[in-house]
Structure formats: C-alpha cells, structure tokens
Amino acid sequence: MASTTPTPQTTNHRPDPLTLEVVELIGEVVARFHEDYESAAADHALTGAQARLLSLLCLEPLPMRRLARQLKCEPSNVTGIVDRLEARGLAERRPDPADRRVKVAAATAEGRRVARSLRESLRFAGEPLAGLSEAERVALRDTLRRMLG
C-alpha cells in the first residue's frame, strides 16, 4: 500500500495563496514597468533594447561580449545596437584600457544626457510610487534588495 504522507519535495513546491498573490503582483509591476520603459524609449527615438544598452553604458564602458551576456542576446545583436547608438552620437567604441586588443562601448556625454532624460520621463517611477510615503518606499526598496540579495 502506498504511503499518503506528503514528502518534503511535494510540500515545498506548493506556494501558499499569499505567495502566489505576491508573485502575480510582481508580474504585473514588471509588465507595467516594461510597457512604460518601451514608451519612454520610443519618446526618445530609441528601441527598448537601445535604451537598456545605453543605460548599461552609462554605468561603465563594457566589451560587446559582456553587454550581450547582460542583455541575454547574441553579440552580433549588440554590435548592431551599438552601431545605431554610435550613428546618433550616443555611444562610442574605444580601446579597453586593460587590453588594447579589445574594444569597449561607452556612452558619450549626449548618451548620458539622453539616458538621464529617459529615466526621468518614466511615468511608472513617479505615479505608483508617489502614493507611497518615504518610509513605505524605503521598506519596499529594502525588501526588494533582500529578494535580489
């Protein structure tokens, strides 16, 4: 006769209703953010991929392979995106100071200005978060940091 006692494997994989609701809400937040991000990028005559790459380049110059890993796409796609940003004067290629055989992509001053303007134009960042107190935003930030930890 088979045992009816649940194994740890079956009980650990069934999230409780609260966890399921939180996961659904996170999914909705992510969907709204992506929608707003794509719209803000388009307002700056950028695709979402161009805007994401430009934002990464504002943090530090990066080699194409690392950009591809971070964007989870093929290096050839990154080359095309950098080409288009370079044609607009938003990015440039330069030798990697650590290995002059390697080229890195970097945001230009204009690229950093456009990326900053794009971030500031995100309605998502202002509207839903504006209804939260500073203490609530701090608690949300801290919770998200722990989740990503």
Beta bridge partners of 92: 106
Residue 124 near residue 32, CB atoms below 8 Å: yes
| pLDDT over 90 (residue 117) | yes
What's the average model confidence in pLDDT over 68-90? 94
What one-character DSSP code corresponds to residue 13? Answer: T
Q: What is the pLDDT of residues 21-43, one digit of tens each?
A: 999 999 998 999 899 999 999 99
Distance CA 64, CA 78 (A): 6
Q: What is the pTM of this model?
A: 0.76
For residue 131, what pLDDT is reported? 87
Distance CA 55, CA 104 (A): 15
Can you tell me whether residue 122 is helix, strand or coil?
A: coil
Going by C-beta distance under 8 Å and a sequence separation of 6 or more, which residues neighbour residue 11?
none
Domains of the chain: 36-148 (1.10.10.10)
Q: What is the pLDDT of residues 8-25, one digit of tens each?
A: 444 568 899 999 999 999
